[in-house]
Amino acid sequence: MYWYPHGMNGWGWFAMGLGTLLFWALLIAVGVFLLRALQRGPERTQAHDGGRPPTPERLLAERFARGEIDEDEYRRRLDVLRQNSGPPGTRPDPPDLRPGKHRGP
């Protein structure tokens, strides 16, 4: 190829090499995406409970299991849920559960 007067210069080789790298990167990314999509099981929605929405206690337990909240916050929120589980007219005012807000005196 070097003997042709109309051959590629250095920039042509660079563009061709970069194009090849981008092509293979895109091909590998699509393959990884497809493998991950196929290996993932069916979405865990309400089907695992027979179509019923999960209870607040179950959602709280799942958050605790995932490590999103610590044990103190889990127990505090669970106490609040159990305390507020009475009939709608007899429920006390909900406490402030924002982070940084502490219950008690």
Would you give per-residue pLDDT tens digits along the chain (105 residues)?
A: 556 566 677 788 888 999 999 999 999 999 999 999 888 866 654 455 566 788 888 999 999 999 999 999 999 999 988 887 766 555 555 556 666 655 554
What angle (nearest 5°) sits at the alpha carbon of residue 100, between those of residues 96 and 101?
30
**Residue-level pLDDT at 105:** 47
Q: What is the pLDDT of residue 40?
A: 81
The model carries a pTM of: 0.37
Q: In this structure, are residues 59 and 74 in contact, taking their beta carbons and an 8 Å threshold?
A: no
Angle (CA) 76-82-86 rounded to 5° is 145
Query: Which pLDDT score is estimated for 46?
Result: 46
Spans of all domains in the chain: 56-85
